[in-house]
Chains A and B, each alone.
Chain A
Amino acid sequence: MSAPVEIISERREVSLIRSVGLIFRKDILIEWRSKSRLVGMSCYAITLLMLFAFAVGPDPVMLQKHASAYVWMSVVTVSTLLLSQSFQNELESDALEGLLLVPVPPAAIYYGKALSNFVWILLLELISLPFAVLLFQLDLTTSPLQFVAVLLLGAGGVAAPGTLYAGLTGRLASQQLMLPVLLFPLLIPTVLSAVKATNLIINHDPFDQISAWFAVMCAFNAIYWVLCGVMFSKVVDE
């Protein structure tokens, strides 16, 4: 078939990895264009941390004891807004259907979006972290690499199932409600191990227990990133 216009070349095969990269780049670009959303969500995370701190009161021992839970609760709560937003962009003009009909493989859409969500959740963690250190008087300097690993695995453990469930609930009128209701139970292993690992880092891990929690986080990351990628096509294209 000849080209409808000379300005368009012949069609060639696009690899899955290239498609993932293109979707990732597109999502990062769209979110970057609407930076106000990220600023708003960061403010929300910081406000939550402040509320937790005020609720506990000016007791440094108590604040430090529960700090890891407060940090991860605020990250998870705000991440659900970020995740649901990532699909709203696609559903506004049926862009998701447009992608599927191109056809872009559903796995490429999933991994592109999940990686982009991973980056934004990580950024959210990094923005809110200095405030957590100040509010809860934390010392994270003893094991900075371990802490970075917890942040990465925590963001991955939220982004992978979160992207799947955001796709699942994307067309529901009550998505803002349904997404956390469905997602939070699935996040229990990730959140629990991230909270425990962060707590051990804050308390200098006296009994060398942190590797067990890392193993749990790694295992759930592997399960979620593989399984959710397989299930995504059933969620959006069946």
Chain B
Amino acid sequence: MEQLAIEAAELSRRYGSRWSLARLNLEVKIGERFLIVGGNGSGKTTLLRLLSTALPRSGGSLSIFGIDPELSRSDVRSSLGLLSHQSAIWEDLSGSENLEILANLVGVSVDTHALLAKVKLESRIDPVSTYSAGMRKRLAFARLLLQRPRLALIDEPYGQLDPEGFDLVDSLVDELIDAGSTVVMASHLVERAAKKCDRALLLEAGQARWTGVSSDVPKAWRALHKGES
């Protein structure tokens, strides 16, 4: 039987009395590129945070590469990387220092200058607190590459970036895929993101409304939000 990167059944998450994600069934194959789309508050970020083990689930079952995160959270965490809305970086340190510290904690040796050059930040030696939002996003991508994740969870990869940054993100995602990572991304830029992915899931109000090949997701998205057929 083929091992799955993600296998979720009836996966749910509740904040107080509100269900942010309700009874979601999801299967993502190893090496697949999977897209999650949906409006604001549809549950995309919650789903990515559940998959990353940053949030505990309220119900259902979940396994990442065959491991239940609630039974062996550390094993699951060492196989994944999350790029979230927050950049998870230390503001008072430079980009290079951030990457060096993370590399030591992850247990990898890294040429930080070359890695920063990949995200076009090699000339910045000042603290991250002086970076623009787009530069922080690019540094967060360098952080994700450094972790060498088997499963890369990327929340809004194009957020806060300029058009040049969009192309950079596309190339970085390609690099992750070429390295064998399974990529799950959530994005509002449906048409652009759909081109990078194999399959897609459309969420609305915490529930799965549509699943299929990603090339069809723009149509499904328009049908849901504009009433088109």
Interface residues of A (CB under 8 A from B): 1-5, 7-14, 18-19, 22-23, 25-26, 29-30, 33-34, 89-90, 92-95, 97-105, 238
How far does the Cβ of A233 sit from chain B's closest Cβ, in whole Å? 10
- Cβ of B111: which chain A residues have Cβ within 8 Å of it? 7-8
Which residue of chain B is the closest to A91 with respect to CB atoms? B86
Q: Does B59 belong to the interface (CB within 8 Å)?
A: no
CA separation between A12 and B90, bound complex, in Å? 23
Question: Across the interface, do B107 and A12 meet the contact criterion of CB distance under 8 Å?
Answer: yes
| Separation of A11 and B92 alpha carbons in the complex (Å) | 27
| Distance A11 CA – B147 CA, assembled complex (angstroms) | 8
Bound-state CA distance A52–B58 (Å) is 53
- Contact present for A97 and B105 (CB under 8 Å): no
Beyond A4-B179, A93-B86, A101-B52, whether A22 also contacts B93 by CB under 8 A is no
Closest to A108 in B: B105
A3, B127: Cα distance in complex, Å: 28
Within the complex, what minimum Cβ distance (angstroms) separates A3 from chain B? 6
**Chain A min CB distance to B99 (Å):** 10
What chain A residues lie within 8 Å of B146 (beta carbons)? 8
A102 touches B180 (CB 8 A): no
Contact of B109 with A by CB under 8 A: yes
Proximity bits, B61-100, A CB within 8 Å = 1, else 0: 0000000000001100110111010111111110001000
When the two chains form the complex, which single residue of B102, B108, B115 contacts A12, counting CB atoms closer than 8 Å? B108
Q: Cβ of B10 < 8 Å from any Cβ of A? A: no
Query: How long is the Cα–Cα vector from A95 to B90 in the complex, in angstroms?
Result: 6
Given contacts A1-B179, A8-B115, A98-B88, 5 further A-B contacts (CB under 8 A): A7-B111, A11-B107, A26-B93, A95-B88, A101-B80
CB pair B86–A103 under 8 Å, yes or no, is: no
B118 within 8 A of A: yes
Can you give 8 A-B contacts (C-beta < 8 A)?
Answer: A3-B148, A5-B115, A5-B175, A8-B148, A94-B84, A102-B78, A103-B73, A238-B56
Nearest B residue to A92 by beta-carbon distance?
Answer: B91
Chain B CB within 10 Å — which of A90, A92, A93 has the most?
A93
Q: CB distance B110 to A7 under 8 Å?
A: yes
A14 lies within 8 A of B106 (CB): yes
- The 5 A-B pairs of least Cβ separation, nearest first, read A98-B88, A94-B86, A4-B179, A103-B77, A7-B111
Report the Cα distance A70→B78, complex, angstroms. 48
**Alpha-carbon gap, A139 to B32, bound state (A):** 72
A238 to B179, CA, bound (A): 32
A93 to B178, CA, bound (A): 29
A2 to B111, CA, bound (A): 17
Cα of A12 to Cα of B97 in the assembled complex, Å: 20
Q: Which residue of B lies closest to A21 (CB)?
A: B104
Q: How far is the CA of A92 from the CA of B176 in the complex (A)?
A: 27
Q: Please give the distance in Å from A167's CB to the nearest CB on chain B.
A: 16
Cα A95 to Cα B97 in complex, Å, equals 14
Residues of A within 8 Å of B88, CB to CB, are 93-95, 97-98, 101
Q: Which of B52, B108, B181 contacts A8 (CB 8 A)?
A: B108
Q: In the complex, what residue of chain A is closest to B102 when comparing beta carbons?
A: A102
Q: Which of B103-157 contact A (CB under 8 A)?
A: 103-111, 114-115, 118, 127, 136, 143, 145-148, 150
Please give, as numbers and ranges, the residues of chain A lying within 8 Å of B90 by CB-CB distance. Answer: 26, 30, 89-90, 93, 95
Tell which of A4, A29, A89, A99 touches B148, judged by Cβ atoms closer than 8 Å: A4
Q: Tell whether, in the assembled complex, residue A1 and residue B105 are in contact, meaning their CB atoms are under 8 Å apart.
A: no
* A103–B78 CB distance below 8 A: yes
State A107–B89 Cα separation when bound (angstroms).
20
* A93 and B87 within 8 A (CB): yes
Alpha-carbon gap, A238 to B103, bound state (A): 25
Chain B residues whose C-beta falls within 8 Å of the C-beta of A98 in the assembled complex: 88-89, 143
| Cβ-defined contact, B86 with A89, below 8 A | no
Q: Which residue of A lies closest to B178 (CB)?
A: A4
Of B53, B88, B101, most buried by chain A (CB within 10 Å of CB) is B88
